[in-house]
Amino acid sequence: MTNILQQKYDVIGLMSGTSLDGLDIAFCQFSVDNKQWKYEIVCAETIEYSDVWKQKLLSLETADALTFQLIHAEYGQFIGRLVADFIIKNSIKPDFVASHGHTIFHQPDKKLTVQVGSGAAIAANCKLPVVCDFRTLDVALGGQGAPLVPIGDQQLFGEYDFCLNLGGFANISYDHFGKRIAFDICPVNIVLNAFAARFGKKYDDKGEIARSGLISNYLLNEFDNLSHYRILPHTPKSLGKEWVINNIDPLIEKYELEDTDFMRTFTEHIAFQVARVINVKPYSRMLVTGGGTHNDFLMERIKALSKVEIIVADNDTINFKEALIFAFLGVLRWRGEVNCLKSVTGAREDSSGGSIYSPALSR
């Protein structure tokens, strides 16, 4: 374990999102002075999943136990090799790797959250210590195990009133009466990308497909009246693909609409739900990151309905913020410091989550 007095860290952060775009790899440098953290994303890239890997990850939810464990190990080996190649390609010397893994199950009400990508296999293949499995401890402590990004928002992006990420889901964090709170607002790309696939596209480029559709007010009203949106904002709440399957998919099947109209309606739903949350603090500043920022039409609708100043981050932060923050969570775990806030997740106590695997006893 690194000395707590260490002030600088070179870390690779790994993130695989629910939309299965690929594996984000970001080499980040952190420094701390008088409890003030600074960061830099030195180099980063997204490695797209092959169709084979997409299918393997998609199939795990219904796989038998042996297949699940085999792919868990294989995926870790795959990640470890990608990290090793990334290190050679960029001539870097990381202290360790922090890996989120790929979420297969997230059911905190059942005390269950599972991210595949064996930390031991990653460490063995890239020959570096690995911090992983960030969510399990919080769930065991009665928390949602999500979102975990807010402590990074607080310590790395504290100049903004809100930090919004538009990824598979829209999640937000902000200070509420002296405590950091955060929650998942609604699905975003996990739904929009599924519709884009019906047009033979990976995503709706700039939101042009949705822009061409018409709003179904009946469907929009049903989306907006789902029970998740009645939970108070300061109450920890998280979403997963199971929620989409159980709540969004049945409504999609109920209405016989053109795909463009579904996309237009769901885009309006996203914008309305985001605006509903942030308009409680008019004239504040919000940093927006995530792949959804490239959806021009979605951003237009959020701005049209909002009363806050919206600042879109630089490209590296947009594309790699989650990898950056999981690298930071790894640093906090490495130091034995809190990296998961009970005010965010609803756990009984703050915690320092993450398992550590080292490929060697000494380095």
Superfamily of domain 8-144+333-357: ATPase, nucleotide binding domain (3.30.420.40)
For residue 103, is pLDDT > 90? yes
Q: What is the pLDDT of residue 310?
A: 97
Same fold, 8-144+333-357 and 162-307: yes
Confidence of residue 109 (pLDDT cuts 50, 70, 90): confident
Identify the CATH class of 162-307: alpha beta
For residue 278, is pLDDT > 80? yes
Q: What tokens does 279 get?
A: 């308009």
Between residues 177 and 277, the one the model is more confident about = 277
List, for residues 50-59, the tens digit of each pLDDT value.
Answer: 999 999 999 9
Is 94:105 a contact under the CB 8 Å cutoff?
Answer: no
List, for residues 207-250, the tens digit of each pLDDT value.
Answer: 999 999 999 999 999 999 999 998 887 776 778 888 999 999 99
Q: What is the pLDDT of residue 362?
A: 52
Query: Where does residue 79 rank: exposed (0-12), middle (13-18), buried (19+ CB within 10 A)?
Result: buried
For residue 3, is pLDDT > 90? no
List, for residues 127-149, the tens digit of each pLDDT value.
Answer: 999 999 999 999 999 998 988 98
pTM above 0.75, yes or no: yes
User: For the chain, which residues make up each domain, given as ranges?
Assistant: 8-144+333-357, 162-307
* Close Cβ partners of 343 (under 8 Å, ≥ 6 residues apart): 179, 180, 181
Mean pLDDT of the chain: 93
Q: What is the pLDDT of residue 239?
A: 86
Confidence of residue 176 (pLDDT cuts 50, 70, 90): confident
When pLDDT is averaged across residues 286-305 and rounded to a whole number, the result is 96
Which of the residue ranges 13-17, 230-234, 292-296, 300-304 would you say has the lowest mean pLDDT?
Answer: 230-234
Can you tell me the distance from the alpha carbon of 271 to that of 192, in angstroms, rounded to the nearest whole number? 13
Q: Which residue has the tokens 């879109």?
A: 312
Cα–chain-centroid distance for residue 346? Answer: 18
Return the DSSP state at 102.
Answer: E
Could you list the beta-strand ranges (E) of 17-168. 22-33, 36-48, 96-107, 112-116, 130-132, 162-166
